[in-house]
Amino acid sequence: SYELTQPPSVSVSPGQTARITCSGDALPKQYAYWYQQKPGQAPILVIYKDNERPSGIPERFSGSSSGTTVTLTISGVQAEDEADYYCQTADISGTYVFGTGTKVTVL
Residues at the contact surface with another protein, assessed by CB under 8 A = 1, 31, 33, 35, 37, 42-45, 47-49, 54, 84, 86, 88, 90, 93-101
Please report how close the Cβ of residue 30 comes to another protein at its closest, in angstroms.
Answer: 10
Pick 1 or 79: Cβ nearer another protein: 1
Supply angle C-alpha 55, 20, 43, rounded to 5.
45
For 3, residues 6+ apart whose C-beta sits below 8 A from its C-beta are 24, 97, 100
Please report how close the Cβ of residue 84 comes to another protein at its closest, in angstroms.
Answer: 8
Distance CA 84, CA 38 (A): 6
